[in-house]
Structure 1
């Protein structure tokens, strides 16, 4: 086995990209994707869990190292009767090319009994992942952290000196639901906004938050206060499957959400994306629930439990939400020409569902994440509303240096 003399990478904002804050813990550093005040205002265990899962967060360094290593401690939540999600993955990207990946292990696992709400916990060890055999010479290295489990980074090491990577790429801030977070994606670089960002050559901050795209004011303020050259918000599915509000409240909340973003980014290109196709909620309101028959077969699947007859009284479905989002954007564009709309069915529509059904009736599989990311990049960054911002900006590693 090769012996290495390791240099630790400083776990600071210069090296850790895509996080809103870095919490210093007894073990190391825990990346968070929301400010602490936002999390405290929500007082929601679901949001506290998903914002600490570092989707889109990566450690970036310039080095001549031939080996790099990540030491971390993961925290996972599983549910009785529900098959656990796969182990988290760390992706290694060298000079923009994904070259290797490794799975996490050990750590802390909390098991929630869905019938009683009680929990049990098991504490394991740190994981250590070593990526060896890198080509000699200076290069840009990114270590993309798992998108689907909480990770405390204990240490990141290289067997040569390290430096931060200068980055002049356009900054893209994206907010969405569990689909944007990466649910059912196989790897952190396979999450559809990450696919889109890497294809378009932009610097992503991913505020995709599982179960939590709910038009919360603190989330709008987070976007308002985050530096951005382009912004997108993908809204709708969580509002329907949480059965959170009726059309009257949705209309006002959508306007207020956009108003708050515009307080900090008055002319930044801002794209509102409506929901992708999801058969269970197209014309049937929420709330959503686990499909108990599927669970009995060892599968995770979801179903809609609302009554379509309630739509006339303002209850939300994906069909009504799409129509209202399109109407709101068109209305606002009279005074805001930098506001844009993308129908989510362009990313994944009914024909796509016939070819590649949502695996659990709610979330796309890994291949569909890739397709959605490529479509978004082409529709929005190449020939759409973000093209002028990206065109002419430095996107290659050499240009960024």
Structure 2
């Protein structure tokens, strides 16, 4: 039996949305972006265009007495030819900061991608909705975290009581930039992506600029971070530079310096933490590029392989060990004049012992348990007393 119509309809407006840097009016609805229009205009890469429009860390936040909340959306889902079905995007519901439900949206558009050719075909679909019932009737703060793996146009909220935007939390804002692992790849849900877990533990507001396949030291991303209000910033650098094989060591060091210089132009004094890659055995000493493992794809398993040759390190091709060593050198040198600049070896978040217990299922991305581990360890390092992101007085 269809659900009864709800008495209150509220358009999704910018004051209801957190974690997005831009909101685009589209025929489908309000589309959250994690890069502003100026940065998007300078980007020509389809992978980054897709990644920044997937709303990892973006959520609606409002106050209400409603016991039923329905969010109408137009999702865009991906299908890969010959690969196992991708998990449906999940929406996480929080009530006064506590998990209170999960749902997936019906309807929406479908993009079919042929990984062997790179071709993509879009099939439009109807608007869908996610519905949460049985909420407590008292006044409360409700958050709906959007799927990290689906482009999501926001249409309207439907409730059985009025809603109003949640007031500012008063918490510090943490801006994090990184790769697909920071974006959320293979996490269980949007609030269990490791930066979201770390933000909850650290009691900070998250702006997640983790872009799948696209943490490539792009100057327009550095300018975006420069111009975005934040109290804390972390930059997870390295794995995508190896994946994409986009530069050699000669270019890497100056590019890191330039990225940090630009960020510091807008945030000269706040804590800035540079994080090197977590362990990824296939690329520790073997350069990229990273390629799909089509032998495993034929078995219905999505997996990756390192297509480079270790001998190419002599030509300056990047490996994870080389990246870590150079990042540590750069941060150590700069920290002499920048006491709020810090470094963290990513293997402290996920290292050899962790890989033995929680191996990377596709040889590249951590599973949900590893996301929880990384989030817990990052919070323990960064937000604890004496850590680079410790609250004032701690």
TM range (shorter): over 0.9
SS at match of 1:186: coil
In structure 2, distance between residues paired with 1:260 and 1:10 = 37
Q: Does the 8 Å CA contact 2:56/2:208 hold for their aligned counterparts?
A: yes
**Deviation at residue 76 of structure 1 after TM alignment:** 2.1
Q: How does 1:67-146 map to 2 (within 5 A)?
A: 67-146=68-147
More displaced, 248-257 or 32-41? 32-41
Q: Does the 8 Å CA contact 2:177/2:209 hold for their aligned counterparts?
A: yes
Q: Does the 8 Å CA contact 1:12/1:22 hold for their aligned counterparts?
A: no
Residues 341-396 of structure 1 show CA distances to partners (whole Å, capped at 9, x for unaligned) of: 1110111001100000001000000111111111111110113100034x68xxxx
In structure 2, distance between residues paired with 1:113 and 1:233 = 32
- TM normalised by structure 1 equals 0.94
More displaced, 274-283 or 98-107? 98-107
Q: Does the 8 Å CA contact 1:29/1:153 hold for their aligned counterparts?
A: yes
In structure 2, distance between residues paired with 1:118 and 1:237 = 25
Q: Which runs of 5+ in 2 are unaligned?
A: none
In structure 1, distance between residues paired with 2:230 and 2:259 = 16
Out of 290, 313, 321, the position equivalent to 2:292 is 290
In structure 1, distance between residues paired with 2:7 and 2:256 = 50
**Deviation at residue 93 of structure 1 after TM alignment:** 0.3
Q: Which residue of 2 aligns with 1:346?
A: 348
Out of 313, 331, 342, the position equivalent to 1:329 is 331
Q: Cα RMSD (Å) of the superposition?
A: 1.4
Q: Does the 8 Å CA contact 1:87/1:105 hold for their aligned counterparts?
A: no
Q: Which residue of 1 aligns with 2:390?
A: 387
**Deviation at residue 109 of structure 1 after TM alignment:** 1.1
In structure 2, distance between residues paired with 1:257 and 1:198 = 27
Q: Does the 8 Å CA contact 1:39/1:47 hold for their aligned counterparts?
A: no
Q: Which runs of 5+ in 1 are unaligned?
A: 393-401
More displaced, 37-46 or 246-255? 37-46
In structure 1, distance between residues paired with 2:61 and 2:354 = 35
In structure 1, distance between residues paired with 2:5 and 2:96 = 22
Q: How does 1:79-228 map to 2 (within 5 A)?
A: 79-166=80-167, 167-228=169-230
Q: Which residue of 2 aligns with 1:398?
A: none
Q: Does the 8 Å CA contact 1:93/1:100 hold for their aligned counterparts?
A: yes
Q: Does the 8 Å CA contact 2:106/2:130 hold for their aligned counterparts?
A: no
Q: Measured at CA, do residues 315 and 118 of structure 1 come closer, stay the same or move farther in structure 2, by a change above 3 Å?
A: closer
In structure 2, distance between residues paired with 1:370 and 1:382 = 17
Q: Does the 8 Å CA contact 1:245/1:315 hold for their aligned counterparts?
A: yes
**Deviation at residue 4 of structure 1 after TM alignment:** 5.7
SS at match of 1:105: coil
Spell out structure 1 runs of 4+ moving beyond 3 A.
1-6, 114-121
**Deviation at residue 5 of structure 1 after TM alignment:** 3.8
In structure 2, distance between residues paired with 1:97 and 1:12 = 24
Aligned residues: 391
SS at match of 2:330: helix
Q: Which residue of 2 aligns with 1:22?
A: 23
In structure 1, distance between residues paired with 2:56 and 2:117 = 30
